[in-house]
Chain A
């Protein structure tokens, strides 16, 4: 696994994509991380977004997704296609972007899971291009 070198330009590009496609659609927080648990981009609505501990979230999400993939393999699947947890006040969705990146979105019941999944898969290619070239 290669190291990630991110430039100001890449970061701005990715940030703009996340904001335009997800945050403007009502998603509270969009967090782009790598599979080692590093945070590459963190965008969100000013008021709703303040208290998230992005470093812990990234570490746990990376580990949990790696564990989920292993669980899939144990039952003869490549991976699970829907990675989503539903809560009382918020929901969280994990989307894989290429081999090494994960896009985490946190959203309320005012945003549909279908929309989020659709937007994340639309974004996957352009984000992978920015970071993986």
Chain B
């Protein structure tokens, strides 16, 4: 749920990176954190378990400049992907305005990608939200693995598995080196801000 502050002329939106465990959600946020100017980003908050797995969520607040006179503040969240943390994923989706679904290209993760999208649909429904009505983009991450001997999914396979109904924009990415990371962020931000602005007719205010 966006927060529109007419006194400070700010719009605050919440964008959640969703996807199966280990697909690279936290890596996306870390890359954005490291690449952005300190004045345009807040502290990155991560709640890890002992390993490197996200237990609760990651949060990265960003200032993305002005649109029609409003300062755009975005909060990027990730969810823990492991199946057992479904309750946590539901909490993080509360008040979501936009979504990035990050998919893992490993052939062995094929089912996980599909299940993750179903899990997202179900958890949005718990908040009375419909996946088809939300701003969402797909990110096919870890494309660097395509050139290695590890069996991976092709873009056509990923599209057939994940995007045949959504028919939304997808980005190929290598989150570890930043390929596609800002392209993904830019597109979802644009869609999310447009979605929130249209709801509130901000251009008329």
Contacts and interface: CB of A to CB of B under 8 A. Distances in A.
Interface string A41-72: 00000000000010110011011001100100
A41 B202 CA distance: 22
A35 interface: yes
B143 interface: no
B57 interface: yes
B94 A62 contact: yes
Nearest to A35: B94
The size bracket of the interface on A is 20 to 34
B1 A1 contact: yes
B6 interface: yes
A44 to B, nearest CB: 18
Interface of B: 1-7, 12, 14, 42-43, 45, 56-57, 59, 61, 75, 77, 87-88, 91-92, 94-96, 127-128, 196, 199-200
20 contacts: A1-B1, A3-B3, A3-B196, A3-B200, A4-B1, A4-B4, A8-B7, A11-B7, A35-B95, A36-B94, A36-B95, A37-B75, A38-B3, A38-B14, A55-B43, A55-B75, A56-B42, A59-B45, A63-B91, A63-B92
